[in-house]
Amino acid sequence: MNEDWVQILITYDFIEAEIIKDLLESGGIPVVLRSSKVSPYPVNIGKMGEIKILVRKEDKETAEDVIKGNNENNPLPE
């Protein structure tokens, strides 16, 4: 990874992290998920349960807008 990656969100739910990753990647924003979880032990306590969602530094603002639903190309239904 030669690019600068920044954290935009921390979640404790693997499914939520995957949904956010899929949402951002469908808009062309590369995403990296980082976790300290050890797969045979489903521990969700403190830092062991964190899943960090990272995007490239230049995509941070766009990714945050997409997550908040402020993307002009994909407005939330009223």
Question: Which CATH number do you get for residue 37?
Answer: 3.30.70.1530
Q: pLDDT tens across 7-62, in order?
A: 999 998 889 999 999 999 999 999 999 987 666 666 666 677 889 999 999 999 99
* Three-state secondary structure string covering the chain: CCCCEEEEEEECCHHHHHHHHHHHHHCCCCEEEEECCECCECCCCHHHHCEEEEEEHHHHHHHHHHHHCCCCCCCCCC
Residues composing the chain: 78
Domain span at residue 9 reads 5-68
Q: How many domains does the chain have?
A: 1
Of the pLDDT bands very low, low, confident and very high (cuts 50, 70, 90), residue 76 is very low
**Shortest CA distance to 51 belongs to which of 68, 30, 69, 35?**
35
Does 40 or 1 have the greater pLDDT score?
40
Separation CA 14–CA 19 (nearest Å): 9
Residue 77 has pLDDT above 50, yes or no: no
Residue 30 lies in a domain: yes
Residue 75 lies in a domain: no
